[in-house]
Structure 1
Amino acid sequence: MLIQNLFEPYEIEYMELNECPVGIHKNTYFELVYILKGSGVHHVGENQFNYSKGTLFLLLPQHAHSFDVRELTTFLFIRFNDTYLKAQQVKDVHSMMSNWIQKMEYILQCNYHLPGCILHNANDKPLIGGLMDALIGELVNQHEYYREVIQQLVNTVLTIVARNIWMINAGKATPRNDHAAAMIRYIHEQIYSPDQLKAEKIAAHFNISPGYIHEYFRKHLGESLQQYIAGYKMKLVENRLLYSKMRVSEIVQELGFTDESHLNRFFKKHTGLSPTAFRKTKRALPLSPTNADTNLTQ
């Protein structure tokens, strides 16, 4: 199967097609596909989804997919990788962008979200439409500072996508409990600060008795607090091993493990493999262009 790679942090492509130029294929990067006009069918694995104007697809690394164009279609492709996301992080704690990476983890870790149009919030559809039109305008006109404007527009699109993924999954886990959904959001935001994920800290934050926090979490989420935190952290570690060039020592530092031995024990308990063995056997990201099967060109 064809595998397409991205050798820059991000790439935007705007094209009109009456047929898909490639058959079923996989990417080693994240891709947003927006339909400006036209109709057809998007094949993702064994699933099929009709598309039309305003549809937005989020494709995760290693999703096997293709498009069957039924009516002349104008596509806007936004391709990005972990390197792009990391480059957006702002260290100023007073900036609203300081925890942007943590929020974007919704995209990186929610690879269980259902394929299909990612826009489940009706109010976001016209907002995304306007942003995509603005992106195209900047690409075509290329006025002064157009690259900086494009980057800000892309970040806004990604943030809206993350919001929709959050709404889908929070609603799935806690259909009638906003308090439990807020608890999940707190865990996601504090995953890099292990001290803040202690039961007594979470209980104090949500004004719940420390003795009741475990029962409350299991009642509303269907698993224990420790299971949820461990599962979420595992997903983050796997994503870094598969889709980034981060060293194990860097993952240890970022996610608050004591040392590499601690991470090895944690990871092996859940997968039966060490992080290094997991990366060698399941890596999806080529380390250099010489390992690439094919490169996507504009």
Structure 2
Amino acid sequence: MKKLRQFDALVIEEFVKEQFHQPSHSQTYYEIVYIFTGSGKHYLNSSIVDYRANDWFLISPEDTHYLEIRRKTHFGVIKFTDSYFSERKHLMPDSLLKFQPEMMMRNKAFKEMRLTMDRLSQMNLHRTIKTLVDSRESREMLSSPFTFYQVLSLFALFQQQWGGMNNAYTWNDDKQALISFIHQHIYEPEKIQVKHLALTFNISQNYFGKYFKNNYGLPFREYIDKYRIKLIEGRVAAGLTLRQIADEFGFTDESHLSNYFKKRTATTFRTYKKKHQA
């Protein structure tokens, strides 16, 4: 199955299609898909949901999806990586801190239904998506606080809408919250140590390893290594140097990163770079 990758923290797109341009795929980023006009079906994991004008879908990296277009469809798409919000937490209002956007995107309870809003919220959603789409070619888009708050306002709308549907839901009790936390802090080794995670998520440190494997199907350390290697490979493909990658992921130096990479991929960093870097 095709896997789409994105290295930019934020990408905004607008397009009109009579036939969807991608086969069923997964991706490395989060995606908000808004339907301005048109109709069809959205295939997301094991669910099939009819869509029409003013509908919207949330897709996270664990998902596979594609769209079957019946009537020519006008799309607005907001795509962001883990880093977009994690690097801007100082700008985020306290009221939204516990409802981390990535956690909202990963909430499976909202992936098996057609998502709707009340009329006023729908109007606000439409305006916000249109504002973002209209600013997509701005050179300052990625660094713009205004753009960030526009994106954040989408999640304020989602939070408001979901509050009445899900009052009993506690994000930290959901196993998706743990994975989201790991993804956000993969660049900070001290925050993804078992001791810190066990304390943060109220899990016995001695039981943590068993808990993780039972819920996610892999030993904790193996999951961390696989995810980190996947991100490092993406940095290599994007042209970052060994020094830059070592600094980003908290390795002591280039040698530390090289040894880590070779041990887990059975190839040297230099060989992999030569083969995969454009």
TM-score by length of 1: 0.54
Counterpart in 2 of 1:226? 221
> Do the aligned residues in 2 keep the contact of 1:192 with 1:255 (CA within 8 Å)?
yes
Q: 3-state DSSP class of the match of 1:73?
A: strand
Deviation at 1:29, TM superposition (A): 9.9
Are 2:250 and 1:256 equivalent residues in the alignment? yes
1:60-209 residue pairs with structure 2 within 5 A? Answer: 69-78=69-78, 89-90=87-88, 92=90, 95-96=91-92, 120=111, 125-126=116-117, 130-136=124-130, 149-157=146-154, 178=173, 180-209=175-204
Q: 3-state DSSP class of the match of 1:234?
A: helix
Q: 3-state DSSP class of the match of 1:39?
A: strand
d(CA) in 1 for partners of 2:76, 2:247 = 37
> Do the aligned residues in 2 keep the contact of 1:124 with 1:160 (CA within 8 Å)?
no
Deviation at 1:250, TM superposition (A): 1.7
d(CA) in 1 for partners of 2:9, 2:208 = 45
Deviation at 1:222, TM superposition (A): 2.8
Higher mean C-alpha deviation, range 205-214 or range 228-237: 205-214
Deviation at 1:254, TM superposition (A): 1.6
Are 2:235 and 1:235 equivalent residues in the alignment? no
Counterpart in 1 of 2:163? none
Deviation at 1:59, TM superposition (A): 9.6
Q: Quote the sequence identity (%).
A: 26
1:76 partner amino acid: G
d(CA) in 1 for partners of 2:20, 2:204 = 58
> Do the aligned residues in 2 keep the contact of 1:119 with 1:125 (CA within 8 Å)?
no
Q: 3-state DSSP class of the match of 1:233?
A: helix
> Do the aligned residues in 1 keep the contact of 2:86 with 2:184 (CA within 8 Å)?
no
Q: 3-state DSSP class of the match of 1:56?
A: strand
Change (3 A) 1:137 1:118: farther
Change (3 A) 1:235 1:252: same
Structure having greater relative contact order (Cα 8 Å, sep ≥ 6): 1
d(CA) in 2 for partners of 1:130, 1:20 = 28
**Per-residue displacement from partner, 1:163-190 (whole Å, max 9, x unpaired)?**
xxxxxxxxxxxxxx93654443443343
TM-score by length of 2: 0.57
Are 2:262 and 1:268 equivalent residues in the alignment? yes
Q: How many residues align?
A: 239
Change (3 A) 1:205 1:6: closer
Unaligned residue ranges in structure 2 (runs of 5+): 136-140, 159-171
Change (3 A) 1:91 1:22: closer
Unaligned residue ranges in structure 1 (runs of 5+): 162-176, 287-298
Change (3 A) 1:70 1:179: closer
